[in-house]
Structure 1
Amino acid sequence: MECRVVSAVLKSLNDADQLPVLLARQPIYTKNQDVVAFELLFRSQSGEVDRSITDDAATLAVITNSYSSVCSDGEIRTLPCYLKLTDKVLLNSNFPELPKESFALELLGHTEVTPELLERLKQLARTGYRLVLADYDPSNPKFEPLLSIVHVLKLDILKLGLQELPEIIRKLKPYNLELLADKVENKEQFRQCLEMGFSLYQGYFLSKPIPVRGRKITGNKVVLLQLLAELQNPDTTAAALEQIAVNDAALTFKILKVVNSAAFSLRREVESLSHAITLLGLDQIRRWVTLFLAGAEPGKPDELTRNMLVRGRMCELLAELMGRPHALNYFVVGLLSQLDALLDIEMSELMEQVPLQQEIKAALLTRAGMLGEVLQDVEVYERGEFAALQRLVDPSYYEVSYRHSLLWAQSVMQAMSEG
């Protein structure tokens, strides 16, 4: 069964449209940590970065169909993407008619601000495009005429400095801009920016835990850990697993709902955990137990769970493409690599509470071994640092795997919300 599933996945990756560009997305949040847009991170293999997206209808279709959609409260929503463009592309007479509801146009700081460009931006704003200015430097007068044209202004909080921001914001007030705090790396920075009145936020602050010393795993996560421990016992039985699962009937029901969902296209309905084990095998049950261990916690945004799912699936796909044995272990490593942020428990403390194989723990703690190598590459890809990839597989397969993982995570989120 497992081999057939793997070969089907690899075939679908081979059959997928390969793009002339590497793509990833970074969420843009409101003050409530809801995702309202995505920043597109991309790099072309040809060097024609802008044109590889704007001149390619297939690439634009993939972005609108895969990169801009999320599952929120069981509903699929399409969000706008911030698309970085040079002045050269914006001024090109062949600039395509991009869908205004799907793309916000982001101007980079090194742009040469000319009267011609200002007129072009005004024209784009009049026709309904949302304009974003990045890399703002308050000491450079070239940005001044742009402030009355653009809608969103990105402020790099690390470059500008948290201490200097209140005065910068005060001077920007007359322009009535929507301010986006960029490079927000931890919860404390998020809190300070919140107090300053930013309306949008971007950065990796969600993936950093606020550790509470001595905090223990609680609730249905305890039952899941007991199941995970039993699943690592080579002599376990369906009866032994059901004996543990019976302690949380609601959780068992939710696991069965996911297994029966489109996320795992089965021809017949699974009615019990023992039935699921008979049909799928222990490895696949271990997958879904691990998946629910990554389920949302009170006060934690959906995006954290979504990213854990994407990361887990992409790690597994790369392992399969490389012909690595035990690809499911790569899934577990990717999925649990942000469990510390989800539970606000330091990873080292977490590993003392979680029953996992030593090689999985080593990958999670220090990115060691073959598992850690793949996890590290997936993390690099997520950040859009494409030049730093180890190229464990052909570069185009990274994008196809990432895209597949986005859609897979979306269907799992939908199934989990229905449970």
Structure 2
Amino acid sequence: MSDQIFVGRQPILDRQRSTFGYELLYRGGPNGGHSFDDPDDATQSVIQRALLDWGMERLIGDRFGFINASPRLVESGIYRALPPEGIIFELREDEPLTDSTVEALFNAKREGYHFAIDNLNPHAELETSSLLPLASVVKVEVSDELDALPAIVENVREINAGILIVAEKVETMNQYAAALDAGFDLFEGFYFARPELLSRGARPLSSISSLSLLAEMQRQDIEIDKVEELVGTDPSLAYRLLGVVNSSAFGLDRRVESLRHAIVLLGVAQVRRLATVLALSAAGDVSEELIVLGATRARLAGELAPRSDLAGPAFTVGLLSVTDSIYQTPMLELLEELPVSDTIQDALLGGDSELGQILTIVKACESADVEALAHLAPGQLADLSSAYANAVEWADGLRQQMTMRKSSLTLAGSSTLSAAMSNV
């Protein structure tokens, strides 16, 4: 199995003690470690794991997800990689806000995003708060001063009547009862549940491919064909993008017939936003040999499709056929995370459909199994040999490009990321 990744999840309950949402927390290991050097890195890690590794529907279902954010991340616009529905970004009241931060918050609110104020100081002059009028949710720590809670609720609602008020760090029955009586809307704390530690196998991503995609996506005139070309050269990149399409958070609840179909559903603008998250998440490289093998299979499978309407699905089957080796995970388990059509699933699981037969022929070409090819495609050995040679040549060209990108992107990677963060 591949390395494990982790995320923490703590429930937030409503007045009926039903789950309103979950706070998603950075966790660095199996012991629940949550220390980090840079809080922005921790937030980016949570976004990446929620969006790319788990999928929002697995983490929060139809509830709200609360994710910590800093003013710098809000200004960067990286939050746009996530859809506004179901996500609430938490900012601390004591974070210094510039005019540009407040403007970014106004713009995000107009776009439908929601913000929460974390750790509100109830003794501060609330009328001077820049955040409180913009926030949809505010969190107030419940202390031993329980008699002060009704006044806190009243003061907050005088400034923002429609805001939801969360009693956080509720640890005793007395604190819960007092917050309930005071009119708090939501509740979070150890009295209800400690953060749950979730883990799963990591899905590594090639940093070279992701940075290449990120660099190209900065072009405002980029078209679907170019996006398909970039994603279609790396099985790990294609797998990640298809996994996003499967996320209910994007409202794309349908099966896709090809990689191109998935890109069209997302749209260039959303792929551009996701490219930043993909590049940030690419901590370890995928085997270059497996990338080249997947590209070879994809190219050959697309060429062998007997009809034009099968070329895209066949290419996708070839590309994804190596993902079980990349992720050291059974193909059946991987397909549970992808929205691909039944015909693509059948082919990848060894079925005998048209796509399945194409993949079988591709693998026979790969292993130079002349006997199998004579049975699978009688009289076509010469044509198959030529098509396979062309696919290998094309994939070798990709290998050379990867080598060149590796040296250039290693030098330019940080500046590419910085430019992307400012253009999201």
Could you state the TM-score of these two structures normalised by the residue count of structure 2? 0.40
* Higher RCO (C-alpha under 8 Å, 6+ residues apart): 1
Q: TM-score, normalised by structure 1?
A: 0.40
Rg larger for: 2
